[in-house]
Amino acid sequence: MSSTAEHHHDDHHHGPAKGFMRWVTTTNHKDIGTMYLIFSLVMFMVGGFMALIVRAELFVPGLQLVDPHFFNQMTTMHALIMVFGAIMPGMVGFANWQVPLMIGAPDMALPRLNNWSFWILPFAFSLILSGLFFFGGGPASGWTLYAPLTLQGGIGVDLTIFAIHMMGISSIMGAINVIVTVFNMRAPGMTLMKMPLFVWTWVITAFLLIAVMPVFAGAVTMVLTDRHFGTAFFDPAGGGDPVLYQHIFWFFGHPEVYIMILPAFGIISQIIPTFSRKKLFGYESMVFATAGIAFLSFIVWAHHMFTVGMPLAGELYFMYATMLIAVPTGVKIFNWVSTMWRGSMTFETPMLYAIAVVFLFTIGGLSGLMLAIVPADFQYHDTYFVVAHFHYVLFSGAIMAMMGGVFYWLPKWTGHMYDERLGKWQFWLTTIFFNITFFPQHFLGLAGMPRRIPDYNLQFAEFNFMSSVGAMGLGITQLLFIYIIYKAVKGGEKATTEVWEGAEGLEWTVPSPAPYHTFETPPVVK
């Protein structure tokens, strides 16, 4: 072949890239959604393994397995990896897959940006994890990275700061992509108030991300300059204030917890109407409640800081503002229950998850209301009661909603039905072990056991034993979750448009890209 022919051949690759390069270079929202979800699952297992190290140390009183400093690195890394590696990328994976399908768009608005948003993440988490292997190890400050704890520590802390910047860039680009897609690429007739609730929760989440990720970036940058460049933002010796760090962190951190939970609300707002065979009750109030939660999330941050010695007026304000969030959240719970009320309910795996989320998330919400009461919080603060509270919000809120979402959409994603019997086993084992793990921690906290401590008084032995046994069971159960997904991807019965008996005309059967459609006529039910 002549050189000109070779050049001609090289310049025109026909068809998409194959194999590995397909995934590196893809701009397809489904491929990118799949990569986010797989990444999330891997990080979920890594973060879960770290939690098991923590629970293994706390299995019995005394110091046995690990050095206390390493124990603190594990609590910190577990949290950072679960929040920024498992929950957030997982939710972005759902957004990538479902938002274009739900609004009838051919893809995300900014497909190259979409690819970059994902590929930043494996490098960011390689940096965080590599910190464990360097002198001084990773951060050992809790996921909040409070100064002065982060003003000490080795290169692992710096790597973590750099990784947080990378994750922030990824999150902001992903959020911009969702907003541009939803505001510019809806199918004709798809008005904002006709969008599926999952899309609404993600639009609102995207605005939260754009608002608060730069705040977090600023906070860790100030830590970095305090560590290496002679500033004293958080160092009292130079006129700084460690409490300033807490204000900046929680101004990010409180909206952040809603960034994790709002898309989960969106997922179960899709699942519950499907298996109740009814439209979602109170659609508009759900949209406004979601927006209300997002707004309020910005003005309650210091409820994480009741014990720093703020003035009484500040404590009262933050107490009442925090309790106010219970109103829109209560509206959502009420609407989900009302949707199920007198519906033709069936209890496939996704619906079991959705009901469990409503029930267990409410427990987390009520313990949050307890924490909002200032004099009570003086007792609860930094005890295992707080650990129990946020795991009821994040595990049985965000993670279980994602598991329900995976079972709900797997037939659409893979074209194969998952194994319903195994799915139900995985649900019940997860739910039971979750409660065995975290419910006793409420009692430990009320009895005064502090968080982030590798040893404890003998009086706490029984509940810690239960908690650790539950955690081991919870971890092992997730191997079944991976097996079910693997099995569905590989094969299994073909999914039809009527995946679940009698649920024809469901939202998730919208083809991609959606045909030109006014969305006025109801789907024909056979």
Annotated catalytic residues are 78, 107, 143, 170-171, 254, 256, 258, 269, 303-304, 329, 332, 451
Report d(CA 171, CA 173) in Å as an integer: 5
Pick from 470, 479, 469, 468: nearest CA to 54: 468
Dihedral of CA 388/391/397/399: which sign? negative
For residue 331, give Cα distances in angstroms to 289, 334, 362, 365.
7, 5, 12, 13
Residue with tokens 């009814």: 278
Range 463-502 burial, b when 16+ CB lie within 10 A, else e: bbebbbebbebbbebbeebeebbeebeeebeebeeebbee
Pick from 303, 161, 284, 282: nearest CA to 221: 161
The verdict on whether omega for the bond into residue 522 sits within 30 degrees of 0, i.e. cis, is no
Residue with tokens 């509206």: 331
Dihedral of CA 228/230/72/432: which sign? negative
Tokens representing 269? 């707002």
Pick from 257, 259, 250, 378: nearest CA to 302: 250
